A and B are shown apart, each in its own frame.
Chain A
């Protein structure tokens, strides 16, 4: 079989193999991970890369990491040279200005050697629960990166197959959850080893030359396909803008502005006009901005085709230096993804006039994070930290209603944490979890509803909150209305009530009740044109109340 280079059948088999190797790596990572953020939240990604660091196959838990691992390996090679990567090494890094994300996201690189030659990389990224930030887990009020935890340039945890015990001990001692940290590191190494073994056996089977010939063919096909799709979009300049509520420290909105220039078979996304880097932690490194733009791009350009080294070759991203999208030291980056989630929504909005059959109205917009931490009295004052993202409503489109209670665009494989498991782990009782009636934007097709979740503290705890998008709520399209904004209400044991969206490590007493509500998605089309049967069905199922239906839909009874 080795004689037939780039035979279409062989190429197809090799292409499938690249993707299944990535899936196997991802399965190994998720199964052996320690932190719920990885195994339920799926805040992770893996990629199998070729010797130049280009993507052969990838498997994402978090769409936001699209193509990012490839960029990381290439940046490290630029810094240290390709020969930095030796057989048996395990390299890790989390520097926000290299990887682009917050310090909790740790990238692990395992170079793959076959017959003594470096032939590729098995890489992964996962969110580590605690990397020694000033508050347990993550802070919402950090204003320089040094408050957000340990920051690692590319560092070897293993050299030539030997663990660097001093480094591992250092890591363990600087995290509030040192055992879990080492567990997660090992899970990432296990993913790397899986990739190494599977890629080597693919090379044993087909030989390096055939595999490389197929790779080149696959990349070429992807690049061609992409150019073709972009050519079909009318040339022009498309714009959209919005704003985050604030940066977590001030009350000032943080503008995000995007200009898409489509010319022939190339697309340029320019973020000029977006906010300067902020004091609060909504900044990110350029690498992650490129990844997020790729997510947006992928939503509209050949979403069904797997990503490889030929994808995104016709996309350019311009993120001005010192802006929130290309932040420089010492900008704080802990909540980097809020700006990026908005960027993705705005990209879709900008192109909606020319791609009506591909787009949808906006979704609820952000991860809506609640962090509870403290010392559990029922477990000898053991430290606990729970971090949860919340589902919300998605946007309607030309043919259908938006979905209720679905995770946001920067997340994907995320699964909410089962209450029955949660209550074993944390001294908190969840008393309600449901669909938030009337929160979806009215339209001929209705925006999806957000969710609500009610927590009763059975132990003192401190609460951090990161809820966003109350100013730029999920907009409608084609005459559809916007979805409702999120809300959080805290009721203290003495019955004082407060409403808030962001806070850092607020001390709360046992007996406090926290009600979180996420926003709805935007509607699509004129609400008055909504089918009366659909309105009636929504009322019967209490997705929409009778009053709200009367206000929003002419045809309501």
Chain B
């Protein structure tokens, strides 16, 4: 078996494969390569196998294979899960449907709630009751389960979710219920809420369990087929699945609780940014990813990826959406990407997105019948994208159609085609800039302290302008920007996040109880890992506390020491809480501090070779990298005759001043006048935006 490590990421349009062989002598990565193939929507695993074929990599040569897929989010948004039943505490079967009762679309007399994933007749109750401290008020009436299961069977239920009130505080009743279901129906698919979350809020936890059960048979079958396909190819290495929390996990764990991979694609991009930062010694990062239909950003503080437990799907200004209470990388996503359409509404206002031209018909420039101009078309109109090297030369852009489309758009507002194209980019940039502010300024961070790492098909085109707007001094366009999510998986350790709601006053007298809670979670994590033959030595931890002022609701996370927690540690934690609180909310109070939950992240090291540096001597002179000189419109910074470079030919150490454009297959890097660009020893491009534009 050769030692090849590969990661594959399935997106809506493309399936990316990144792989490298490890040089047996140096232990370094010999040659990193990437392959992009079209996604095959009905047979993801076939697409993955095809991409291995295209790359000429045999499954039997793989020692490590990590995989990210949209299978769970697709099954949810397309409602392609299975018929699901729900079992709750007596008196609470409607929690799932009432949701939180809110009506976000205020001025809509005809507002409709998002429909529950489990209809009322498949939501059943069992007699049992716990207090908020987990004490039993009413024991579980285990005999009530059998008739429920019979009804479920008669109705054709294929998966069962269980969520009991206060099960975060005591899992015993949920456990007993699961054991009994397993005894009576050994083959039924089942999910209990405590397997996913030990945090309070019954609606959110119930909905998470219901959604997880709804997709579980689909996700398990998919992952099994993927395993089988690899095995048929002779695969004997380790197979990992990318999760939403910014780490990978074993396939068996993902099959058990597949909701944990709901946002795996975007998460791996953020993880890639963190990994690249680590390689380059940069810890404070804003990861920024522009794809075809959306732009996503996330903040990395001190090397740590930020997570949220308030992830929602299908939520917008008009709909309450569905909460999923599983740790997800905290990403702000907006409906502006390369394919987003520029349009004028009935109030004569120009918008960009959220509608996207998608892959079909695609931007006007594709010449596949699109007539509505997109962000990509605007970049062509302004000369930023080379019409003759569009998608790496695959297509020759239909420039006259693009012009026509912008003339039409401009005429609605009495402006020229060029101004309409500039307008589309300004509005798109404004929308993206807002998303970037949400993850930075609004959370009390100063963008001047951060480096932006921009990737995805459109990241490099907009990054420098946005960075300048937000005073972010430096932008890095990674060497594998277009397949960065897959690259991120190759750089990942195993990661599992545990949280336990434990409302207590944060005071020295409670130190022992908090210490004990952490210890228990760590022990649970070690046991889970070692039961899957992962070496105890490879497991390492990070601990956080969610704290707030007594009586308040929203919490602020504070890093907790790994050793035991004593009275002194509590005092330090209170200090760090006050600091963090003030940074976030601009003021601090003298009030008591309260603990809400203990969080533990358990990592398991995956051994990883180092990435080798590029050898500058194999590159030609800078002149050889020049493709052409053409007029490029930099909007308010003027139209300039601009030198166009080919990225692959830029040697490490190269230094350029803007205006310049660097082209590579699938991506264009725009360097504004007064910005400068440097190529580092790994081939990453560093753009300095502090050149004093105004």
Residues in A lying within 8 Å of B, measured CB to CB: 1, 7-9, 12-13, 15-17, 20, 24, 27-28, 30-34, 36, 39-40, 42, 60, 63, 179-180, 182-183, 186-187, 189-190, 193-194, 221, 225, 295, 298-299, 303-305, 348, 358-360, 391, 394-395, 397, 399-400, 403-407, 411-416, 418-421, 423-424, 429, 431-435, 451, 454, 540-543
Known A-B contacts A305-B347, A359-B109, A403-B113; A416 and B442 likewise in contact (beta carbons under 8 Å): no
Alpha-carbon gap, A423 to B168, bound state (A): 14
- CB-based nearest B residue for A1: B636
Contact status A419-B427, CB under 8 Å:
no
- Which of B173-181, B268-276, B415-423 forms part of the interface with chain A? B415-423
Shortest distance between the CB of A550 and any CB in chain B (Å): 19
Contact status A416-B100, CB under 8 Å:
yes
Does B503 lie at the interface of the complex (its beta carbon under 8 Å from any beta carbon of A)? yes
Task: Give the 5 A-B CB pairs with smallest separation, nearest first.
Answer: A391-B101, A9-B423, A415-B100, A303-B107, A432-B91
Alpha-carbon gap, A26 to B111, bound state (A): 22
Residues of A within 8 A of B415 (CB): 7-9
Known A-B contacts A9-B419, A60-B106, A418-B201; A190 and B585 likewise in contact (beta carbons under 8 Å): yes
Contact status A451-B98, CB under 8 Å:
yes
Contact status A423-B430, CB under 8 Å:
no
Contact status B431-A16, CB under 8 Å:
yes
Interface string of B84-112 (1 = CB under 8 A from A): 00000001111101101111101111111
Shortest distance between the CB of A536 and any CB in chain B (Å): 11
- CB-based nearest A residue for B412: A8
Q: Between A and B, how many residue pairs show CB distances below 8 Å?
A: 197
Residues of A within 8 A of B232 (CB): none
Contact status B202-A403, CB under 8 Å:
no
Contact status B434-A416, CB under 8 Å:
no
Alpha-carbon gap, A403 to B114, bound state (A): 10
Shortest distance between the CB of A268 and any CB in chain B (Å): 21
From A9, A27, A416, A541, contact of B98 by CB (8 A):
A416
From B94, B107, B201, B549, contact of A420 by CB (8 A):
B201
Known A-B contacts A20-B434, A541-B119; A424 and B589 likewise in contact (beta carbons under 8 Å): no
Within 8 A of A (CB), among B335-356: 347-351
Shortest distance between the CB of A171 and any CB in chain B (Å): 14
Contact status B92-A434, CB under 8 Å:
yes
Does B529 lie at the interface of the complex (its beta carbon under 8 Å from any beta carbon of A)? no
Interface residue range, chain B: 35 or more
Contact status B104-A412, CB under 8 Å:
yes
Contact status A405-B591, CB under 8 Å:
no
Residues of B within 8 A of A542 (CB): 120-121
Residues of A within 8 A of B552 (CB): 32-34, 39, 183
Residues of B within 8 A of A17 (CB): 430
Alpha-carbon gap, A543 to B106, bound state (A): 25
Known A-B contacts A1-B636, A8-B348, A400-B112; A433 and B92 likewise in contact (beta carbons under 8 Å): yes
Alpha-carbon gap, A432 to B202, bound state (A): 13
Contact status B442-A420, CB under 8 Å:
no
Does B384 lie at the interface of the complex (its beta carbon under 8 Å from any beta carbon of A)? no
Alpha-carbon gap, A8 to B351, bound state (A): 11
From B104, B503, B549, contact of A424 by CB (8 A):
B503
From B108, B113, B129, contact of A303 by CB (8 A):
B108
Alpha-carbon gap, A529 to B347, bound state (A): 39
Contact status B586-A193, CB under 8 Å:
yes
- CB-based nearest B residue for A389: B101
Shortest distance between the CB of B470 and any CB in chain A (Å): 10
Contact status A424-B132, CB under 8 Å:
yes
New A-B pairs, 5, CB < 8 Å, besides A424-B132, A434-B94: A31-B554, A34-B549, A412-B106, A429-B131, A431-B91
Shortest distance between the CB of A1 and any CB in chain B (Å): 5
- CB-based nearest B residue for A391: B101
Contact status A12-B349, CB under 8 Å:
yes
Interface string of B558-594 (1 = CB under 8 A from A): 0000000000000000000000000011110101000
From A7, A39, A395, A432, contact of B553 by CB (8 A):
A39
From B103, B423, B554, contact of A407 by CB (8 A):
B103
Alpha-carbon gap, A424 to B95, bound state (A): 18
Shortest distance between the CB of A56 and any CB in chain B (Å): 16
Shortest distance between the CB of B106 and any CB in chain A (Å): 4
Contact status A416-B101, CB under 8 Å:
yes
Does B413 lie at the interface of the complex (its beta carbon under 8 Å from any beta carbon of A)? yes
Alpha-carbon gap, A304 to B165, bound state (A): 39
Known A-B contacts A15-B349, A358-B109; A180 and B551 likewise in contact (beta carbons under 8 Å): yes
Contact status A433-B101, CB under 8 Å:
no
Contact status B111-A540, CB under 8 Å:
no
Interface string of B125-139 (1 = CB under 8 A from A): 000010110000100
Alpha-carbon gap, A40 to B120, bound state (A): 26
